[in-house]
Structures are given as C-alpha cells and as structure tokens.
Amino acid sequence: MRIVCVLSSIVLVSCAGSSTTTTSPSGTPPYQIVGEVGSQQVSYKELTENFANGSLENELNLDELRDFLPIYLDYKAKLMAAKEDGYYEDERILSEFEVYAKQAAYSYWLENKIRPTLFEEFKSRYIYELKSSHVLMSMADRTDAADTMDVYTKMIEARDKYLAGTSTMAELNEEYSSTTQGRKMGGELPWFGIGTTVKPFEDVLYSLEIGEISMPFRTQFGYHIVLLEDKREKQPGREVSHIFIRRDSSPAALDSAFKELEHGALWSEVVKEYTEDTPSASNGGKIGWVNYGARYDGAFIDSVMNLNPEIKYSKPFSSVYGYHIVKLDSIQTFEDEKARDEFIMSELEKSRSFRKSNSFIVDWLSDNYRETEHQSTLTEIIRFLEDTDSVALTDIDMSADLASKPIYSFNGDDYSSQEYYDYLVSSGKLPLTNGYSTTWYNDFKEFIIDSRLTDMAVEEFPDFSSQLENYKNGLAVYQINEDYIWSAATVDTSRLMEMYSENPDEYSYDTRYYYHLITSSRDTSLQKAIDFINSGNHPDSLRSFNINVGVVSDSTGAFRGDPFTKLESMEEQSLSEVFDYNNRKAFFYLNEIFEPRKMTFEESFNKLLADFQPVREQEWLNDLRSTYNVKLYTENLKKAFEEEQSPE
C-alpha cells in the first residue's frame, strides 16, 4: 500500500515524528547549530527531537546521531526540492493527502476528544445506580411535525398530572404509554447503572435529582418522561456459579443437591449430577458476573446481590428461569485506581455510549458543537421542492429570500437553503421522483460536519496540524524519490545499456530448469497425478481432469536449495521421487533444461534498474547537497551532545 511506502520513506530518514522545516529559533548558540540546508539552520534540539521520534531507544547515542545527521539534512534538502518543483501542488499528492487527513481527523477526534470526554462522564456516573419509572410513547423515525407536537403535548399533560399529584407514574404508564405485544412500553425500571440503556435516556436520568421528573425528551424509541425515584452507590459485581433446575422439572431434585452439599459433597460433582444448565455444566456451573444492569431478571439479580458473602452457597430459590442454588465465587475489586480506570474504560467501550464509527463521531460533534436545525426553513423548502417536482432542474427558480435563509447552523457557521438544494442536486436526490425523504436533511447535516471535520481538528488540536504537515512532507518525499531514484520511466536508459555492456557476467542466466511441482496432502491423489503423467499427459492438464493436487511451474531459477537441488540430477521429461514439502507430499516433473546464456537487455532491465539505483540515488543526493549548500557541523554535534550528557 502506498501509505505504508510513505511511512517507510519517512522512517528511512527517522522522521516519522514532528519534523519541521523552519529555521532554528533565534538565540541558539552557534555551537548548537549542527547543520545547514539552504538558508535554514538545523539546531541540535531539532535534530534530537526528530531522531527521538523515529527511534525505539530512549537514550541518545553520539554515533547514531552522527549517522543520522546527513540523512536528516538530505531529507530537508528533498523537501526544499519538492517545494521548488511543485510537488506540494501535485494533484496526486493533494488527493491522497485529503483522504489521509479526513481519516486522521476522525481518529484524532475519537482518541483525543471524544473518548476522554466520554470516559470522564462515564466514570463520574459509574459510582451510582439509579431506580426510575418512565412513560414512553413510541414514534416512527419519519413522524411528521404535527404528530410529533401531538405526542410532546401529551407527554407534558402526563407530567403535569404527576406534578399535581393526581396520577402516579404507574397510572400514567397505563394511560399514556404505547403498547407492544400486549405490554406497556413504559413503567417501573429495575436498579441499573451507566451503560445499561441508550445514552440520551441516561443523560436525562443522571441529570435529575431524587424525586424529580424530567421534561419530555426523545430517544430512538420515542418520547419519554422519566422520574428518578432513588439513587445509591454502585454495588460491586459478583461472579457466581449455580446449580439449575428448569421450571418444568421437579424442584425436589434441587433439594437433593442441597442436601449433598450440606453433607460435604464437592460443588463440582453436585453440578455435574444435578444441573440442567448445559452451557455451564462443564465449567462448574459458572455463569459469570452479575450486577445491577446485567441482562438478567431483576428478582434474580436481587437474590445474587443480597447473598451473604460469608456463606458458601445459597439455599434453593426460584426465579423466572427456574430453581437455583448459587455459589459466590468472587466480589469485584481493583488493585489500584489505574486498574479500576482500565475496567471502566472497557465497560464504556462495550456500552451503547461509545462506537468506533464515523457516524458516531459526526453525531457527537453535532451534539457538542452548537448545532441548530432551522425547522421552519426546512418546512418551506420541502414545500417548494414538492411544488416543483415536475419541473426540470434547469427551470427551477428559488426565490432569493428562501435561497438565503439558513437551514442549518453548525459551530458558528450558517448553511443556506440554496446550499441544501445544491447538495440535493449534486448527490442525485433531485428531481423528486418518489417524494421527499426525511433522511435527506440528516444526510446533509452529516455532509456538512464531515466537510468541516479536518479544519476543526486543526483548530482544536495543535499537534494534529504538525501530523498533517509531516504526512504531506512524507508524500512529497516519496514522490520525489519515486521520480528521481526508483522510477523506470525517468531513468537514463543509456546508463543502463552501458552497465549491461560492461558487465556481461552479471547479466547472464545460469543453468535453469523448467519444471512443474505437484503437491498434495493425500497419497492417493498424488499417485493419480503420477499415473496421469506417466500415461503421456502433461502436468498442465491435471486440474482439467479433476485430480485434486496443487500444480506450480517455474523456469526462472529463483528458487534455490532443497528440494530444488533435486532438479540437477534429473533428466528432461522425467519425474522425481516423492518427497516432503511444506507438510505435503510432492514430486517434480522436469520439462526442459535451459543452458547458460547471456540475458537480453530487456530480460536484464529490472536487475539493471535495481543495480543502478544506489548510483542514481547518490548522484542525485550529491546534486541536492550542492544545490542547497548542505553543510554538516559534526564538531558542533559532538560538543552539544557532551554538554547535554554532562552532569549539572
């Protein structure tokens, strides 16, 4: 991949980090100047910073710095040449840079802003568990504005009844909540902690005081009002095992299991004999961690969390699942704050509050960087589009007033109806053929945020700008290396011809063998192949006759050593004995022996190009060093290094 090559070209000069091309700061002592490239001075500080960014070692070494200095100065000379030759305006570089910058911006936002912000919020909420009740009226994603307002009004009505004391939350749930599969969608919720439900619901619930009821708010499920009934410190999770009897079985079996445990029987043996939970039977009945918010019935969680840690196992009890005896294996603790933070981070990453996706990042930015949806303008333009659905795009004339109205605002910038219309045209959504889709506006918002993402990252993160500059420098260096060192298209062919003529032995073939290598993991298949070839058939036809073997052929002489030395003792059109090769059985069929001969110029071209590359590179570097008057001050390097290493 080209990106890997770019990074390799940067690593080649140990500049994968924060290299710069600015002149050294004024005030640098003369002995701290270790090199010059054109008008730029390179300080000891700049050199060591770039060396450290490309090195796996923590300690500086004078010999390594001395070796690195000319490489780094050559790198800066290449950057100067690339700028003068217009590489920074090259469309190939700019298009690849734009793709990288966008990908890097998404990653930078996630790792440097979103993840830390969400972690701090998640951590602060992690210490609590909440008890609540809610009312929920479901709504489809495409509900129109009138229906949305009707639902919101009913939610306000329900809230007012609770505040007036005329209805309980249970009564409001029965009166207002939607019904699915014969059950109300709202109601009393069990104790749970952070990461259990969707983030918009958690955000509202964790913002409430005990006894406070929220204003109506929307989640992916519809509109809610929620009452925070109680709040307590989070109880640590419990790792448990159980012996389980299904509800349709006799609970007497569990009584027998309990008696055996009481008489000293091993837990593992009793599990094997009695449990009907097949997945946990082979693991001592272990079902893992249970806590408030786990995907178990609330009554079962209560039974586990209330289990006295001083006893070995519970008495038999029933749940919605069946009958259990539960053994407490461990209670969650952490060695230190770092271990606790690592666990909380892992819980965040598993929760619904965090996703490693571009759409998640866009949504987070829209929620946190001053987004405004201008719904009245959106309604106007939808009406305008529906009124002109039969008019050709070239004939549509939007009024100046509507065209200039902001339809969306983000991070301090307004986007007009005209921009929305142009987006719909350019993305192929117009003219309307199947009606207007409410998803288009969300697509437009995502398009705007995506287009702003990189510039916002540059403004938000100073280091990100340096990262982009380094990557663009890497692309430029890669391309200029390609053009001046590696490319066959720009090489002086006459120089290659000269090398070819002066070194005939270097560009000749040794004895070569044109062979087929036949392999199989099955002796019977290999024998079929042998019989097939001995019958006068060519190895190339093996697969056509559905003989299940691997067949490769070669005549380059590129493969050396065992088993290819076997070819030296074979005759043309003969088979070798069977041998082991890469954990399979194999044999050779030797088609023809090619005698040694001189390569043609065309045959030797790639080898000539590779052999000439070091010469070509050195000549170009010498030219760069002369053009940009590259100077190395190794004595200054030594003096600056010794001063840095000497004790105060």
Residue at 442 is within a domain: yes
Q: Can you give the pTM of this predicted structure?
A: 0.75
Q: Three-state SS across 589-603?
A: EEEEEECCEECCHHH
Residue at 215 is within a domain: yes
Residue 139 pLDDT: 87
Backbone phi, psi, residue 554, to 5°: -160, 150
Question: Of 576, 595, 614, which residue constitutes the final position of a domain?
Answer: 595
Exposure class string for 234-243: b at 16+ Cβ within 10 A, else e: bbebbbbbbb
Rounded CA-CA distance 246/355 in Å is 37
pLDDT per residue over 394-428, tens digit each? 677 889 999 999 999 999 999 999 999 999 999 98
Residue at 81 is within a domain: no
How buried is residue 72: exposed, middle or buried, by Cβ count under 10 Å (0-12/13-18/19+)?
Answer: buried
Structural domain harbouring 401: 362-460
Backbone phi, psi, residue 231, to 5°: -150, 135
Looking at residue 34, its amino acid is: V
Rounded CA-CA distance 136/175 in Å is 11
Residue at 635 is within a domain: no
Residue at 54 is within a domain: no
Residues 271 and 211 in one domain: no
Tokens coding 614: 């070091």
**Beta-bridge partners for 516:** 553, 589
Residues 213 and 141 in one domain: yes
**Beta-bridge partners for 464:** none
Residues 156 and 210 in one domain: yes
Rounded CA-CA distance 277/247 in Å is 12
Residue 256 pLDDT: 96
Q: What is the mean pLDDT of the chain?
A: 91
Q: Which of 447-456, 552-561, 599-608 has the lowest mean pLDDT?
A: 552-561
Residues 375 and 310 in one domain: no
Q: Any residues with CB less than 8 A from the CB of 607 and at least 6 apart, and which?
A: 506, 507, 599
Q: At what angle do helices 252-262 and 267-274 cross, to 10 degrees?
A: 160
Rounded CA-CA distance 598/585 in Å is 36
Query: What is the number of structural domains in the chain?
Result: 4
Question: Of 202, 233, 264, which residue constitutes the final position of a domain?
Answer: 233
Residue at 491 is within a domain: no
Q: Is the peptide bond before 309 cis (omega within 30 degrees of 0)?
A: no
Q: What angle do CA 465, 469, 473 make, to 5 degrees?
A: 170
CATH number of the domain residue 296 falls in: 3.10.50.40
Tokens coding 451: 């287009």
Residue 207 pLDDT: 97
Residue at 136 is within a domain: yes
Residue 581 pLDDT: 95
Q: Which of 43-57, 193-207, 358-372, 526-540 has the lowest mean pLDDT?
A: 43-57
**Beta-bridge partners for 588:** 517
Residues 221 and 293 in one domain: no
Residues 132 and 192 in one domain: yes
Residues 548 and 561 in one domain: yes
pLDDT per residue over 154-179, tens digit each? 999 999 999 999 999 999 999 999 99
Question: Of 205, 233, 261, which residue constitutes the final position of a domain?
Answer: 233
Residues 227 and 137 in one domain: yes
* Beta pairing, strands 322-331 & 317-318: antiparallel
pLDDT per residue over 248-287, tens digit each? 998 899 999 999 999 999 999 999 999 999 999 999 999 9
Residues 227/245, Cβ–Cβ less than 8 Å: no
Residues 197 and 287 in one domain: no
Rounded CA-CA distance 137/134 in Å is 10
**Element (DSSP H or E) covering residue 74:** helix 62-84
Residue 244 pLDDT: 98
Residues 441 and 531 in one domain: no
**Element (DSSP H or E) covering residue 551:** strand 550-554
Residue 556 pLDDT: 86
Residue at 2 is within a domain: no
Residue 513, classed as helix, strand or coil, is strand
Where does the pLDDT of residue 18 fall: very low under 50, low under 70, confident under 90, or very high at 90 and above? Answer: very low
As a whole-number percent, the residues of the chain with pLDDT over 70 amount to: 93
